[in-house]
Amino acid sequence: MKGMIALSGLTTLGVLAALPSISSAPEAVVVLCVAAFFLMWGSLYWSLLSLLASPRRVGLLGALMNCAGSAGGISIPLITGFILQRTGSFDIVLQFYSACALVYIIGSIAIDLRRTH
Protein backbone atom coordinates (compact mmCIF):
# COMPACT_ATOMS: atom_id res chain seq x y z
CA MET A 1 0.00 0.00 0.00
CA LYS A 2 2.86 2.38 0.79
CA GLY A 3 4.19 1.71 -2.69
CA MET A 4 0.93 2.77 -4.30
CA ILE A 5 0.82 5.96 -2.27
CA ALA A 6 4.46 6.73 -3.07
CA LEU A 7 3.75 6.01 -6.76
CA SER A 8 0.95 8.58 -6.71
CA GLY A 9 3.40 11.13 -5.32
CA LEU A 10 6.09 10.24 -7.86
CA THR A 11 3.60 10.56 -10.71
CA THR A 12 2.46 13.92 -9.41
CA LEU A 13 6.06 15.07 -9.09
CA GLY A 14 6.77 13.96 -12.66
CA VAL A 15 3.71 15.73 -14.00
CA LEU A 16 4.52 18.96 -12.19
CA ALA A 17 8.09 18.82 -13.48
CA ALA A 18 6.89 18.18 -17.06
CA LEU A 19 4.11 20.78 -17.25
CA PRO A 20 6.32 23.82 -17.94
CA SER A 21 7.71 22.14 -21.05
CA ILE A 22 4.31 21.23 -22.52
CA SER A 23 3.12 23.85 -25.00
CA SER A 24 -0.05 22.16 -26.24
CA ALA A 25 -3.19 22.69 -24.17
CA PRO A 26 -4.69 19.24 -25.03
CA GLU A 27 -1.44 17.54 -24.00
CA ALA A 28 -1.38 19.46 -20.73
CA VAL A 29 -4.98 18.42 -20.01
CA VAL A 30 -4.16 14.75 -20.67
CA VAL A 31 -1.10 14.92 -18.42
CA LEU A 32 -3.13 16.61 -15.67
CA CYS A 33 -5.84 13.92 -15.99
CA VAL A 34 -3.20 11.23 -15.51
CA ALA A 35 -1.97 13.06 -12.43
CA ALA A 36 -5.51 13.36 -11.07
CA PHE A 37 -6.01 9.61 -11.51
CA PHE A 38 -2.90 8.84 -9.48
CA LEU A 39 -3.73 11.48 -6.88
CA MET A 40 -6.95 9.62 -6.14
CA TRP A 41 -4.73 6.86 -4.74
CA GLY A 42 -3.78 9.37 -2.07
CA SER A 43 -7.19 8.73 -0.55
CA LEU A 44 -5.80 5.34 0.46
CA TYR A 45 -4.36 7.15 3.48
CA TRP A 46 -7.79 6.86 5.10
CA SER A 47 -7.45 3.06 5.05
CA LEU A 48 -4.24 3.31 7.10
CA LEU A 49 -6.02 4.69 10.16
CA SER A 50 -7.03 1.29 11.46
CA LEU A 51 -3.47 0.02 10.95
CA LEU A 52 -1.71 2.92 12.61
CA ALA A 53 -3.85 3.55 15.67
CA SER A 54 -5.56 1.52 18.34
CA PRO A 55 -9.35 1.31 18.03
CA ARG A 56 -9.68 3.95 20.77
CA ARG A 57 -7.47 6.40 18.84
CA VAL A 58 -8.74 5.94 15.26
CA GLY A 59 -11.19 8.84 15.62
CA LEU A 60 -8.50 11.16 16.94
CA LEU A 61 -6.11 10.23 14.14
CA GLY A 62 -8.86 10.73 11.57
CA ALA A 63 -9.65 14.14 13.03
CA LEU A 64 -5.96 15.13 12.91
CA MET A 65 -5.69 14.00 9.28
CA ASN A 66 -8.82 15.95 8.40
CA CYS A 67 -7.50 19.03 10.22
CA ALA A 68 -4.18 18.82 8.36
CA GLY A 69 -5.98 18.44 5.04
CA SER A 70 -8.18 21.42 5.78
CA ALA A 71 -5.19 23.52 6.82
CA GLY A 72 -3.49 22.60 3.54
CA GLY A 73 -6.66 23.36 1.61
CA ILE A 74 -6.72 26.83 3.13
CA SER A 75 -3.02 27.68 3.08
CA ILE A 76 -1.85 26.30 -0.29
CA PRO A 77 -4.07 28.59 -2.41
CA LEU A 78 -2.90 31.56 -0.32
CA ILE A 79 0.74 30.57 -0.73
CA THR A 80 0.17 30.02 -4.45
CA GLY A 81 -1.34 33.48 -4.82
CA PHE A 82 1.52 35.03 -2.85
CA ILE A 83 4.14 33.31 -5.02
CA LEU A 84 2.34 34.28 -8.20
CA GLN A 85 1.88 37.89 -7.09
CA ARG A 86 5.56 38.23 -6.08
CA THR A 87 7.12 36.45 -9.06
CA GLY A 88 4.49 36.43 -11.80
CA SER A 89 5.75 32.98 -12.75
CA PHE A 90 3.66 29.84 -12.91
CA ASP A 91 6.91 27.88 -13.23
CA ILE A 92 7.84 28.83 -9.67
CA VAL A 93 4.35 27.84 -8.51
CA LEU A 94 4.83 24.44 -10.16
CA GLN A 95 8.21 24.11 -8.45
CA PHE A 96 6.49 24.81 -5.13
CA TYR A 97 3.90 22.13 -5.92
CA SER A 98 6.74 19.76 -6.84
CA ALA A 99 8.31 20.39 -3.44
CA CYS A 100 4.95 19.59 -1.83
CA ALA A 101 4.80 16.33 -3.83
CA LEU A 102 8.31 15.49 -2.63
CA VAL A 103 7.24 15.99 1.00
CA TYR A 104 4.23 13.73 0.27
CA ILE A 105 6.53 11.01 -1.11
CA ILE A 106 8.97 11.19 1.81
CA GLY A 107 6.12 11.16 4.33
CA SER A 108 4.54 8.15 2.63
CA ILE A 109 7.77 6.19 2.62
CA ALA A 110 8.45 7.08 6.27
CA ILE A 111 5.28 5.38 7.53
CA ASP A 112 6.29 2.27 9.49
CA LEU A 113 3.48 -0.26 9.22
CA ARG A 114 5.43 -2.86 11.22
CA ARG A 115 4.82 -0.97 14.44
CA THR A 116 1.05 -0.77 14.37
CA HIS A 117 -1.29 -0.35 17.34
Task: Tell me the average pLDDT of the chain.
Answer: 85
Cβ-based neighbour number of residue 87 at 10 Å: 11
Three-state secondary-structure class, residue 43: helix
Whether this prediction's pTM lies above 0.85 is answered by no
Span 70-94, average pLDDT: 93
Q: Where are the domains of the chain?
A: 2-110
Span 27-32, average pLDDT: 91
| Nearest CA-CA partner of 16 in 93, 71, 85, 81 | 93
Q: What is residue 16's predicted lDDT score, i.e. its pLDDT?
A: 83
Span 64-89, average pLDDT: 93
